[in-house]
Homo-oligomer: A and B are copies of this chain.
Amino acid sequence: MDTQMTDQLIEAGVLLAVGMSVVFAFLTLLIAAIHAIAWFCRAFPSAEIESPKSHQKKVSNNTSSTSVRPQIAAAITAAVHTHRHTTLRN
């Protein structure tokens, strides 16, 4: 094993030690942060941002989920209407 590889292996060892330490330190701090958030949310429970409808302005949300409903409603109305007529005729 030549010197260069030994050097690289030492460097890798340092990286391993430093890297895993930082990863654990970082994610441990994040555990603390999550506990702090949970504490904060219990301490200051606000209904303010829980409102389901967002006040979206200027850009109407035309995604399928919203635009489908009126269509379905119309279709259902038509279907039930048709059906009632059909059943009445029968």
Contact = CB atoms under 8 A, between A and B. Distances in A.
A75 B80 CA distance: 12
Could you say how many copies of this chain the assembly holds? 3
A82 B81 CA distance: 12
Size band of the interface chain A makes with B: 10 to 19
Contacts of A72: 68, 71-72, 75
19 contacts: A64-B67, A64-B68, A65-B67, A65-B71, A68-B68, A68-B71, A69-B71, A69-B75, A72-B72, A75-B76, A76-B76, A76-B79, A79-B80, A80-B82, A80-B86, A83-B84, A84-B86, A84-B87, A87-B87
Interface of A: 63-65, 67-69, 71-73, 75-76, 78-80, 82-84, 86-87
